Structure 1
Amino acid sequence: MSTGGHWYRGRNRGGRSAGSDRSANGDWPRVSVVVPVLNEAPNLRQVLPTIPDDYEVVVVDGGSADESVDVVARLRPDAVVLRQTRWGKGNALGCGFAAATGEIVVMFDADGSADAREIDAFVATLLSGADFAKGTRFAAGGGSADITALRRAGNNGLTLLANRLFGMHFTDLCYGYNAFWRDVLPLLDLPDHRPDDGAFRWGDGFEIETVITCRAAAAGLVIREVPSHEKHRLHGPSNLSAWRDGRRVLRTLLYEWRARDRSIRLSPAATHFAPRRTESPCASVDRNARGLAPAAGTDAVEDAT
């Protein structure tokens, strides 16, 4: 299974190659798939059966007026179902991240645009040494059946800006199909999902995907892109707006860059924004305890095709 994409510098800590077969290895980590939901009943009927049964599914409902929650209960009775505490995709993801029990967390849309068969490629990329596996539609092996010429042009411009601001080499900024080790969450410093006072917080909305990417880069996490093919939304209208969402992503990039710059000047050692190219296992979980022996050496930046 080829994962392609780009490597960013860091130690290869996985004890398994990117081509590992999930079914043949008993030490494959527990995976949690976090699915924000708002009136997605027709899509869930087709999407949920595609997620492997041995993956934990965490569905976060935003107050659906349709049968979304009932569909989950019927098709995936083992799923964890939550009601998000505030509103917006970012808050939904935050609630899901907090409830996830897997060592690996996957961000997954309920509209059918993401292919659950690709999850294993994201997991394999993490096992081969990455902290964060970022989906890309624009590397070899990726693609999109849904993106318009205007959205592609806007995404290209925003991706170039993100690379300039954060010193990375992303090929696809505006794509939310990602996976990461759960123990890197403290480094991302995401909004507290718990207050249910109704007050909107930075990162509660659609901007969360860009926030996560910027903070993963600023924290020096080992990031690898994973080619992914975006499909058409199955049912219902899309909430995407090229101009509105493009402006929001631009505002997010500038906000996160300024916050990173301020943090570096004030206290590089005390903040998640301090540049830190990961050279050893990060956060609190000892990955050696997983039975995944770290490989020797350090990977330099390279392009993979």
Structure 2
Amino acid sequence: MTDVVLPCLNEAAALPWLLARMPAGYRPIVADNGSTDGSLEIVRRLGVRLIEVTQPGYGAAVHAGVLAADPADGVVCVMDADGSFDPAELPALADLVRSGTADLACGRRRPTTARAWPVHARLGNAVLARRIRADTGLPVHDIAPMRAARQDALLALDLRDRRFGYPLELLLGAARAGWRVHEVDVTYHPRAAGTKSKVTGTVRGTLRAIHDMRAVLAA
């Protein structure tokens, strides 16, 4: 059984659809980061494993979920819980890791509509990915909001960022460790009605993400 870590903050509108779409053999772990919109009640009602993460931050939620994953399978997946990704596409990433083809498999977003990925967010991602390619040689075009890796190897990278810089630190750490990183196209849908991006949905979120990623790059 492959565990799927779902960092969650107020995703009640997306969770029922998302959890129902988990493919056979994939088990969700919702790492909740302080939801107040009924997300926890939904997760409990559906009988899904729930981890309540008191330390704020995307990276904190992801790290807690990865620690909680069952090491028996070896592979752990991570994806956003806002309904923008389809869990049915997870095996395409996990199988690359399980077969030994990749150490880290990343989803490269392919938006289904213009509103799924606002222009300013797409541009910022492209600039950041270009710098990662130039600095590390990794063949990436996205900062991997959907990904798969071996749990023990992921923990061995000893990633320290607990905020929005976590995905960037992961790619930089993977490059330093000499990991084989592969990208797979994944569909990127508009978020579930009533949900808002924690990064691009508000000015505060955007500024906070920029600050966190600059700190990772500076380090």
**Which residue of the partner structure matches residue 207 of structure 1?**
165
Q: Rate the CA distance shift 1:104–1:67 in 2: closer, same or farther, 3 A.
A: same
For the residues of structure 2 that align with 1:66 and 1:148, how far apart are their CA atoms? 25
- With the length of structure 1 as denominator, give the TM-score of the two structures: 0.64
5 Å-filtered alignment, 1:49-198, equals 49-75=20-46, 77=47, 79-101=48-70, 102-128=73-99, 129-137=101-109, 142-145=110-113, 146-173=116-143, 175-191=144-160
Give the gaps of 5 or more residues in structure 2. Answer: none
Contact in 2 for aligned 1:154/1:246 (Cα 8 Å): no
1:240 aligns with 2:204: no
**Which residue of the partner structure matches residue 282 of structure 1?**
none
Q: Rate the CA distance shift 1:63–1:249 in 2: closer, same or farther, 3 A.
A: closer
SS of 2:13's partner is helix
For the residues of structure 2 that align with 1:226 and 1:36, how far apart are their CA atoms? 21
Report the Cα offset of residue 165 of structure 1.
1.2
Structure 1 or 2: larger helix share? Answer: 2
**Which residue of the partner structure matches residue 42 of structure 1?**
13
SS of 1:215's partner is helix
- With the length of structure 2 as denominator, give the TM-score of the two structures: 0.87
Kindly provide the amino acid, as one letter, of the partner of residue 197 in structure 2.
S
SS of 1:95's partner is helix
For the residues of structure 2 that align with 1:186 and 1:43, how far apart are their CA atoms? 28
- RMSD of aligned Cα (Å): 2.0
After superposition, what is the alpha-carbon deviation per residue over 1:170-227, rounded to whole angstroms, capped at 9, x for unaligned?
1223x41111111212332123xxxxxxxxxxx1111111111111112111111111
Give the gaps of 5 or more residues in structure 1. Answer: 1-29, 192-202, 257-305
Kindly provide the amino acid, as one letter, of the partner of residue 198 in structure 2.
N
- Give the % identical residues: 32
Contact in 1 for aligned 2:164/2:209 (Cα 8 Å): no
For the residues of structure 2 that align with 1:94 and 1:132, how far apart are their CA atoms? 16
Runs of 4+ in 1 over 4 A off after TM superposition: none
Kindly provide the amino acid, as one letter, of the partner of residue 61 in structure 1.
D
Structure 1 or 2: larger strand share? Answer: 2
For the residues of structure 2 that align with 1:179 and 1:31, how far apart are their CA atoms? 10
Report the Cα offset of residue 122 of structure 1.
0.6
For the residues of structure 2 that align with 1:248 and 1:228, how far apart are their CA atoms? 27
Pick which of 142-151 and 43-52 moved more. 142-151
Report the Cα offset of residue 249 of structure 1.
6.2
Aligned length: 209
Contact in 1 for aligned 2:93/2:148 (Cα 8 Å): yes
The structure with the larger Rg is 1
For the residues of structure 2 that align with 1:250 and 1:61, how far apart are their CA atoms? 22
Q: Rate the CA distance shift 1:250–1:91 in 2: closer, same or farther, 3 A.
A: closer
